[in-house]
Amino acid sequence: MNFIKNYLFIAVLCLSQICLSQTTNDLTLYRKDFKGVNAKNTVSVTSYQKNGTNYVYTGGAGNIDVFSVDKSGLLTAVSTHELYKKKGPGRGLVADNINGTDFLFVGNKYGNAVEVFKILDNGSLERVFLIEDTDETHLGTVITIEVVHMKKASYLFVGGLEDTPGLTCFKIHNDGKLTHVQSMKDDEKIHTDGVIGMFTHKIKGKTFLFTGGFQDNGISSFRVYENGTFKNINNIDDNTTDRYLTGAYPVTGVTFGDDHYVIVGHRHHKYYTNKSFIKRPDFVYHGDAVSVFKVSKRGKLVPHSILKDDENTKLSGQTRIEIVSANENEAIIAVGTRDDASIQLCKLNKNGILTPVNYLETGFSIYYGLEALNIDNKNFLVAGSQQWGFQKMASYQVAPKKKEREGKVLKHLVNLKFKEGTPQEKIDHAIAVFEGLATKVPSVTHMEGGLNDSTEGHSKGFTHSYSITFKDDNAREIYLFHPEHLKLVNIVGPLLADVFVIDYWTE
C-alpha cells in the first residue's frame, strides 16, 4: 500500500511539474491600462502596498507621480509631487518600511541629492529629508539606491554616474533622516563607475551587495557588516567569451534553496549616439546577452551561464530586469529593453539556466522604468518610457497565451464624433492624418473606412468609422504608441465630442 501511495505521489508531482513547465513556457503579456503622467518622462518605477492597496511610484523629470493599481491592473492617479529644484529625473526609487514607518527613497539625478518621502495613508508623499552631494559622498548624478536591512539597523546604499564615482552607505533613522557611514571611491579594481543596478543576497547569515558598473564594464561583490560598513569581495570584468557587461545596467537575483544567482543585463555602449560621456570609447561589441552569475558562500561572483540575443528574442539595450514570480524550481523574469522597445519574458531554472519564453513589443522604449507586482495571485508589470514628452504609464498582466486567438487577426474599430461647429477644413485635415497612419505605421496590416452613410438613425452623431487590422498584440502596441499615432491624438483629440473604440479577434 505504501508503495502505491509513494508511486501516486511521485506521479502527481511529476505531472504538476510538467503542467507548471507548460504554463510558464506559454506566458505572455496583455496590456490592461495606460494613463498619462505629469513628469516629462518616466525613467524609474517602484511599487508598495499600504493599507491593502497597491501603489506605483514613477520618477521622471521634475516630478514623482503616484498611482494606485487594482486587481485588474487598472491605474488610478493619486497625486504628483515636485522634486527638489524641479530637477530629476527621479531615479532608483525604493519604497520600504523602517521600524514601522513607510518611506520612499528617491535619487534626484541632476539635483545631485537623495530625497526621502514619508508614504501617507492614501499613498501620497510628504518629503521628510534631503541630503545633497558633498566631497565626502558620491551622490552626484545619483542613479541607483538600495535599502539593506541588518539585524539592528537599516542602511541606504547609493551609487551614481559622475566625475568622481563610488559607492556610499547611509544609516536610515526612524524619522527618515540619513547619516553617512562609509564611502568607497571608485578605482581601477572595483566596478562602481556608474552604478545603475544593485542587488542584495543574504547567505548563511551574511549580507552581500552586488553592483554593476556602467562605465567600467563589470560587476562587483561587497560584504556588508552590521554597522553598515562594507568591503570589496571580488570583481568581474567584461570579456568576449562568457559574459556581456559592456555598459552593465540592471542587476537582480534569485535564490533556489542553497543556490544564489545574480542576473545582469547591459545596454552596450554602441547604442549611444552621443558617445562623448562614455569613458572607455575603445569598447568592442560582441553581441547582446543576459549574464547569470552564481554566488559562493563567501559572496564571490562566479560566471555561470548566458542567454544570447538572437532573431527570436528582444534583448538589445537591456535597462531593467524584474522578477515576475519564483518558486523552488524556477523563476520568471522580465527584461525591459530600450533599443528593442520590448519586454522579454524568460525562465530561469533551478540550475541557473535562462531560456526565452515570449516577448511583447511595447511600442515605446523602456529605460529602467519597469516594476513587477503580484495582486490577488495575478502577476503584473507596470512600465514607463524615458522618451521626452511621452508621459504615459502602461500596465500589463503576465498570463498564459489565449489559445482562442491562435490563427486569428486583430480588428481595431475606431468611430469619431466631431464637436458641433468644428470647421470642415480641420475635420478634413484630421481625417487625412488618420488615414495616413496606414502607410506611416508599419504594424498596420490593413486600414479601411470613411464617412458614415447609414440612414437608420442609430449613428448617435458619429460621422466617421475605421477598421484597422493587426496581425497580433505586438502590432497593436506598436501602433498605439507610435509617434505618428500620438501626433494624431494631439491633432484630433481637441476636435472630438466623443470617440468609440472596440477591438476583436477574427479569422
Contacts 24+ apart (CB under 8 A), 268-275: 268/244, 268/317, 271/247, 271/316, 271/317, 271/338, 271/339
Q: Which three cell numbers stand for residue 91?
A: 531615479
pTM of the model: 0.92
- State residue 5's pLDDT score: 44
> CA angle, 487 as apex, 486 and 493 as ends, to 5°?
85
- State residue 18's pLDDT score: 42
- State residue 17's pLDDT score: 46
- pLDDT < 50 positions in the chain: 1-22
CA gap 318, 247 in Å, rounded: 10
Q: Look up cell 536591512; give the residue.
A: 149
CA gap 386, 89 in Å, rounded: 9
Edge-to-edge strand list for the sheet holding 330-337: 318-326, 330-337, 342-349, 354-361
Contact between 372 and 408 (Cβ < 8 Å): no
- State residue 11's pLDDT score: 45
- State residue 23's pLDDT score: 65
SS (H, E, C) 308-333: ECCCCCCCCCEEEEEEEEECCCEEEE
Please give the backbone phi and psi of residue 490, each rounded to the nearest 5 degrees, phi first.
Answer: -70, -30
- What residues have CB less than 8 Å from 435, skipping those under 6 apart? 447, 466
Domains and their CATH numbers in the chain: 27-400 (2.130.10.10), 409-506 (3.30.70.100)
Q: Following DSSP, what letter does each residue of 415-443 receive, concatenated?
A: EEEEPTT--HHHHHHHHHHHHHHHHH-TT
- State residue 24's pLDDT score: 78
Torsion over CA of 164, 167, 173 and 176, rounded to 10 degrees?
Answer: 60
Residues 142-185 pLDDT 10s: 999 999 999 999 999 999 888 889 999 999 999 999 999 999 99
CA gap 448, 466 in Å, rounded: 6
Report residue 296 CA to chain centroid gap: 28
Contact between 203 and 231 (Cβ < 8 Å): no
> CA angle, 149 as apex, 147 and 152 as ends, to 5°?
140
**SS3 of residue 484 by DSSP:** helix
